[in-house]
Amino acid sequence: MNELTTLRQQRPLAGKRILVGKPGLDGHDIGAKIVALTLRDAGAEVIYTGLRRTPLQIAQVAVDEGVDAVGLSILSGSHKELVADVLAQLRALKAGSVKVFVGGTIPRADQDVLRGMGVAAVFTADMPLDDVVAELAQQLS
Amino acid sequence: MTMKDQPGVPREPVMTSVSRSGIPVPASVDASAVHPENIGQPGEYPFTRGIFPDGYNGRLWTIRQYSGFGTAEESNERYKFLLAQGQTGLSVALDLPTQCGYDPTHPMARPEIGKVGVSLSNLSEAEILFQGLDLSKISTSFTINGTAAIIYAMYLAVADKQGVPREKLTGTIQNDILKEYVARGTWIFPVRPSMRLIADSILYSNDVSPRFNAISIAGAHVRDAGATAAEEMAYTLANGLAYVEELRSRGGDVEKFAKRLSFFFYVHMDFFDEIAKFRAGRRLWARFMKERYGVKDPKAQHFRFGVVCGGSSLVAPQPYNNVVRVAVETMAAVFGGAQSIFTCALDEAFQIPTEFSAELAVRTQQILAFESGIGRTVDPLGGSYFVEQHTDRMEEMITKVMSEIDAYGGVIPAIEDGWMQLRLAERGLERKLDTDAGKNVIVGQNFFKKENEEIGVRELFTLDPTVAQRALEKFQRVLDTREQSAVDASLAKLSAAAAKDRENVMPYLVDCCHAYATVGEMVSCLKNQWGEFKEPVNL
């Protein structure tokens, strides 16, 4: 289908399990799907939740599947509430060490807020996919 | 990191001889490319050159900005502001709980109340939203799908309350569920009962509010997600034909209901792809109506459409560049013959527009409409060697994509199986990789990027943090003051009607609205009868 870039050909995420989740009611899933397909191309085993998951459902799947990282995609402006909730649910399930990444329409000021909550990195639509792969590879190594 | 540092990305943008839809674009085209018999005259079949003989001379396109946030009070204020700026129609954005059928008290709803649109949980909110606005004079468009029939019922109920005759109402509900399953995600019920609900609302609307468009079949969302202009038109026409089939199977007369079908698209940056897309789509639809269904009345062959200029063609880096993009896209919409235009604000890629950016977006249309003169002559590009050739090639491309969907078995199985969704995800990935590789040029993002640029504009929109609390308080007051027995009775009748496949549910929804039943209550009733859509998650 698409030519793999050099970075993804090296499969830097081989052996990693990553959950891509859509918390809340936001139905814009193309970004989540593009990232899921990209991470798979880069070697990861990817689980995609589908739409309209609660923070608890996402945390529970993360624990059940023993993932290395959770990626949350949010474009509805509700990122602060939903991310805080997912982080809290993960901690409650004693999985606070799972790295959480966030992608979507996240204003600059809010990116700092999310990182302050403990989010490992925030990605926006204008970033090259290779940058996303490189960031995850580094953080999960 | 700049693009120059990235391996494989060219240093300067390269002009390609292929359009973004994958159509070859020659450097020069001669007169042999024009086939007058395919084109016709403006206002005449097959309407390549537009549905009206005098273009915008008879009537300018409607300037219709999408707007709505917070509570009904705040949105009502913004609407009055926009109308005072010269906007000619309202376009109501609704929050996600309203779109997905949850009351504000539902746990899924709490973080989303008033975020991407206004919260409209029951008739009392609609009464506030339209306070001081004469519904017999303004046309109102609602971007609503999963709960479109309910919101339309609520609009009828507000009109009843204001004493405005229903037959005077003008406006549109999007009411296009098929593309929700593929790209926008506000589905509720499975595909087949959703098709019934849409048919019910269209047939009812044709009778009680004949000037109201009860559906706007939208390609916009698949486009924004990654489809090309040709695919956008192909998916939309295929969905449109699926609705026609459903309406006919429910006793609808195509000669009558086809007059009230309308369409909705995105306009992105490949200027001639966009113009050709609209000219080809208009011609194809007219042919389907006339040749496949034997429609005689030209009005029922008309392909009327609104557009959004902007969307994912706008980017966060160097946001002022977006003003230029929207102006170019608006020109393409005008040359394509759009009936209504929404211009995105420059900051729309990353936040709800401010009053400054919202006003600039309206001014962009006004400058094109009243200063540039581009709307004076109908289809001014008609007969251009290149434009006619590109229109023909676009038509071939659209037809090809439609035949691929037909080969799968049609849009409904393609959606139920997740085939359309996967196809679109792959296309979205392709578009993104092309951008990353510098094949799609986005000035300021992958070329001509400035180092250490501070992204953003000076003024930021901030949503009042008390919105959710106020919405919940108002909601509780309605629950406390409404007559519960009337609510229960109206919901029971709705359930009974929903259980019978051949009963139109619309009158029962209007009664529920009048009784101040909530959106969540009505949706629960219908879910009990029809079930919920199970999303195929196959990546």
CATH of the domain at B238: 3.20.20.240
| A-B contacts at Cβ under 8 angstroms | 117
Encoded amino acid at A124, one letter: T
**pLDDT the model gives residue B54:** 96
Q: What is the pLDDT of residues A36-76, one digit of tens each?
A: 999 999 999 999 999 999 999 999 999 999 999 999 999 98
Angle B227-B231-B237 from CA coordinates, rounded to 5°:
130
The answer to whether B89 and B341 are in contact (CB under 8 A) is no
In a domain, B228, yes or no: yes
In a domain, B193, yes or no: yes
Residue B106 domain flag? no
Q: What pLDDT is attached to residue B348?
A: 86
Query: Backbone dihedral region of B65: left (phi > 0), alpha (psi from -120 to 50 degrees) or beta?
Result: beta
Output the CA–CA distances (angstroms, integers) from residue B365 to A58, B86, B327, B337, B359, in the order listed: 44, 11, 8, 14, 10
Q: Is the pTM of this model over 0.90?
A: yes
Exposed / middle / buried, residue B377 (Cβ in 10 Å: 0-12, 13-18, 19+): middle
Predicted pLDDT of residue B458: 55
CA distance B475 to chain A (A): 20
What integer is the mean pLDDT of B440-467? Answer: 77
pLDDT tens figures, B323-379: 999 999 999 999 999 999 999 999 988 777 888 998 999 999 999 999 999 999 999
Tell me whether A71 touches chain B (CB under 8 Å).
Answer: no
pLDDT, tens digit, for every residue of A68-123? 999 999 998 899 999 999 999 999 999 999 999 999 989 888 999 999 999 999 99
In chain B, residues with a C-beta closer than 8 Å to the C-beta of A50 are: 535, 537
B514 — pLDDT class (breaks 50, 70, 90)? very high
* B168 in a structural domain: yes
> What residue ranges define each of the domains in chain A, with the CATH number in brackets?
14-107+116-140 (3.40.50.280)
Checking if the pLDDT of B494 tops 60, the result is yes
Query: Is residue A30 over pLDDT 90?
Result: yes
Which pLDDT does position B455 carry in this prediction?
57
**For residue B436, which residues of chain A lie inside 8 Å, CB to CB?**
5, 128-130
- By C-alpha distance, which of B536, B333, B525 is closest to B421? B536
Residue of B nearest to A77 (CA): B115
Q: What average pLDDT score do residues B168-172 get?
A: 95
Take residue B326 and report the two structure tokens written for it.
């929207």
B461 confidence band (pLDDT: 50, 70, 90): low
Mean pLDDT of chain A: 94
Q: Which residue has the tokens 């992204």?
A: B455
Q: What is the mean pLDDT of chain B?
A: 93
Domain count, chain B: 1
Whether the predicted pLDDT of B95 surpasses 60: yes
Average confidence (pLDDT) over B145-159: 98
Taking CB atoms and an 8 Å cutoff, what residues of chain A touch B351? 105, 107
Domain range for residue B414? 133-436
Mutate to test the interface with B, among A28, A29, A30 (most CBs of B within 10 A): A30
For residue B30, give the DSSP letter: -
Q: What whole-number distance in Å separates Cα of residue A134 and Cα of residue A121?
A: 12
pLDDT number for residue B434 = 93
Whether the per-residue pLDDT at A22 is higher than 70: the answer is yes
Instruction: Retrieve residue B180's tokens.
Output: 């929700």
Confidence of residue A1 (pLDDT cuts 50, 70, 90): very low
- pLDDT for position B3: 43
Average pLDDT over residues B503-514: 98
Which of B427, B537, B538 should we substitute to test contact with A (largest number of A Cβ atoms within 10 Å)? B537
Q: Are B197 and B189 in contact (CB under 8 A)?
A: yes
From residue B382, alpha-carbon distances to B20, B279, B369, B533 in Å are 21, 9, 19, 45
Confidence class for position B447, pLDDT limits 50, 70, 90: very high
- In this predicted model, what pLDDT tens digit does every residue of B237-265 receive, in sequence order? 999 999 999 999 999 999 999 999 999 99
Chain B: residue nearest A79 by CA? B111
Q: Do A33 and B351 touch (CB under 8 A)?
A: no
Q: Which of B56-60, B408-412, B520-524 has the lowest mean pLDDT?
A: B56-60
Least confident of B218-232, B404-418, B449-463: B449-463
Which residues of B are less than 8 Å from A107 in CB distance?
Answer: 350-351, 456, 460
**Is A78's CB within 8 Å of B115's CB?**
yes
Strand order in the sheet with B261-267: B62-63, B340-343, B304-309, B261-267, B215-218
